[in-house]
A and B are shown apart, each in its own frame.
Chain A
């Protein structure tokens, strides 16, 4: 009881402290502090199976644990990057950034634990609203535009998700299930839910939460938001927040699975997954801004996640592993891209080259992150993408596997051209050094994340394997 609430309330309390603390210099240290406390709480919660509160509205199951693990590792490691980064950007006030990131950390634990459809919706909404002000960190017209689009498109998504939740609730009322909106109760009584309402509900829910994930064609806010936000924020949005919405989709998938309507959901998810991958690939090839490039990479990987769930079987495990891999690698890419941005004072591919010479460590990390994210061995994404591909070939999904491979190739080529231009060659003569140098605190965190991705590619620790297997089995039909 206490642990379930502490996971949410401790970061929220620290967020309040961040808003009240007057010192610009000391406030950023609250981020690693909050990250460390949460990591300790999560470590205490992971082996337990009885973490719950509010009479079952909050429960930490295997799916929630996977998300919580990802969020906390990513938050803690990238929070170590924050103090030195924010000292470089001392001209901008960091009160809203620190406070909102900690608030997001708190609400994301609510998403991970919510087992009540209403609470889940409130929690996702809260995480989205908490993260919106962080995009406006640079306080210029471009970041304002990005924030406006993020809020408006995001709010529409969340409104549609609410409509879908109502549809689902009505199918429960219509089926005589009473007034409980707990996932367990809905799964138990799933055979009595009306299929017509369920289908309509899933469409609205998938579009709604899919907008938050940034699946094509609802992804248009994403390049703007990730392009204008600081690399630190991009890491947490692309690696963490998208995972929250993905978990929401999975919860509804669980209910459809129990109702015997999973095939309907699977078809939608496979189609949306492939579309996202192809759209992302097409936009990457002609992208001139390397932070927007990373945003399209995020669209691509959201596509891989829902495609994995849509394929099912072994791909379910692959998709959950991919959630971890993608989140951690996004951290490597966004943080090292942030360093390159500082060193060249430009985020346009055409104006940046020779990153390996000017900031060798960041340039190398960016290059390694590129190979990791495009699924090159020996990194973790190779394993998870291969798992999904193998399941697609084994199942009756030959053309899905073909489309998957084509999309991966397009992405590799499109992204590779940009990345190689940035890291290779000589720094352009008209871009004088900005004085930014690689330091332990700006290079260390992405290096740690890269190490974790490498580890996941070589060896998955048995407890993690067991956790992922348990989470994947929760998404399969009950035998």
Chain B
């Protein structure tokens, strides 16, 4: 595995914090897009040697995660005329703190897992867990449907980073599964967002509160 991977992982970790600390939806979407682009670069950096197959997968990854899906989300944002995440369940500063603690815990936990010789010293496992946690935080503490979908994207990005450990041993199925799933899930969610927008004239899932225990 080439050494180019670790700087990219640091970029991804920094983007996690940028996502947690902002209220602007545009920043959240663009940050996720940047993360998608970094994942594409990671796909090329990790195997160390270039093949048409990796290039193709990287191109598809960047196309989906950095261009197509953020584009869809940006359009949904424009259509709904909302710009900011307001009153998240957990504020932006506490989110940042939680993200910091989570990243620290991920680093500690990753050290307890034994790695194959070619992966020793790599940040892959801790970056993956930290990104999954960031996605989970965005998903559970934000109110806007768009932010929740981006949270899910970030969570999927974290899973994708974990897949990098396997990219040499079992390259094809794992990535294809992840990409395919992502496309379908976001596609379905996109339709649902559309319906929420029409039914409630808003993309605020806080209005989705009819169903709860009394």
Contacts and interface: CB of A to CB of B under 8 A. Distances in A.
A122 B178 CA distance: 9
Contact of B114 (A122, A141, A174): A174
Interface in B103-140: 112-116, 128, 132, 136, 139
Interface-central residue, B152, B162, B195, B211, by most chain A CB under 10 Å: B211
Interface in A143-180: 144-149, 151-152, 155-156, 158-160, 162-163, 166-167, 169-170, 173-174, 178-179
A163 B161 CA distance: 10
B152 A196 contact: no
B127 to A, nearest CB: 13
Interface-central residue, A136, A167, A169, A170, by most chain B CB under 10 Å: A170
A28 interface: no
Given A145-B208, A151-B188, A152-B139, A159 B166 contact: no
Contacts, number: 114
Contact of B159 (A145, A151, A163): A163
Contact of B210 (A122, A141, A159, A288): A141
Given A145-B208, A148-B205, A156 B136 contact: yes
Contacts of B145: 148
A142 B116 CA distance: 50
A186 interface: no
Contact of B181 (A141, A158, A178): A158
Contacts of B132: 159-160, 163
Interface in B143-165: 145, 148, 152, 155-156, 158-159, 162-163, 165
Contacts of A144: 192, 195-196, 199, 208
Given A132-B188, A174-B114, A196-B114, A227 B177 contact: no
A157 B170 CA distance: 23
B68 interface: no
A155 B153 CA distance: 10
A125 B181 contact: yes
Contacts of A228: 211
B129 to A, nearest CB: 9
Contact of B192 (A147, A178, A194, A227): A147
Contact of B152 (A118, A145, A156, A286): A156
Contact of A200 (B113, B169, B173, B213): B113
A173 B113 contact: no
Nearest to A161: B159
Nearest to A174: B116
Interface in A282-318: 283, 286, 288
A256 to B, nearest CB: 17
A110 to B, nearest CB: 13
Nearest to A180: B170
Nearest to B212: A224
Contacts of B11: none
B196 A159 contact: no
A228 B148 CA distance: 22
Interface residues of A, number: 45
B113 A159 contact: no
A180 B114 CA distance: 20
Nearest to A173: B169
A114 interface: no
A197 B113 CA distance: 6
Contact of A197 (B114, B173, B214): B114
Given A166-B174, A173-B169, A129 B156 contact: no
Contacts of B170: 118, 169, 173, 179, 181
Chain B's interface size range is 35 or more
A223 B116 contact: no
Contacts of B155: 156, 159
A121 interface: yes
Contacts of A141: 199-200, 208, 210
B93 interface: no
A163 B148 CA distance: 19
A206 B155 CA distance: 17
A269 to B, nearest CB: 22
Contacts of A223: 211, 213
A359 B163 CA distance: 55
B185 A129 contact: yes
Contacts of A166: 159, 162-163, 165-166, 174
A227 B211 CA distance: 9
Given A132-B188, A145-B210, A118 B166 contact: no
A5 to B, nearest CB: 19
Contacts of B148: 152
Interface in B173-195: 173-174, 177-178, 180-181, 184-185, 188-189, 192, 195
Interface of A: 118, 121-122, 125, 129, 132-133, 136, 141-142, 144-149, 151-152, 155-156, 158-160, 162-163, 166-167, 169-170, 173-174, 178-179, 181, 194, 196-197, 200, 223-224, 227-228, 283, 286, 288
Please name the 9 residue pairs, one residue from A and one from B, whose CB atoms are nearest each other, closest first.
Answer: A145-B208, A224-B211, A118-B173, A179-B170, A166-B162, A179-B169, A173-B169, A163-B159, A141-B199
Given A145-B209, A147-B192, 18 more contacts: A118-B173, A118-B177, A141-B199, A141-B208, A141-B210, A142-B210, A151-B192, A152-B152, A155-B152, A159-B152, A163-B128, A163-B158, A166-B159, A173-B116, A173-B169, A179-B170, A286-B214, A288-B214
26 contacts: A121-B177, A122-B177, A122-B180, A129-B184, A129-B185, A141-B208, A144-B199, A148-B145, A149-B208, A159-B132, A159-B152, A159-B156, A160-B132, A163-B128, A163-B162, A166-B174, A173-B116, A173-B165, A174-B115, A181-B170, A181-B173, A196-B114, A197-B113, A197-B114, A283-B213, A286-B213
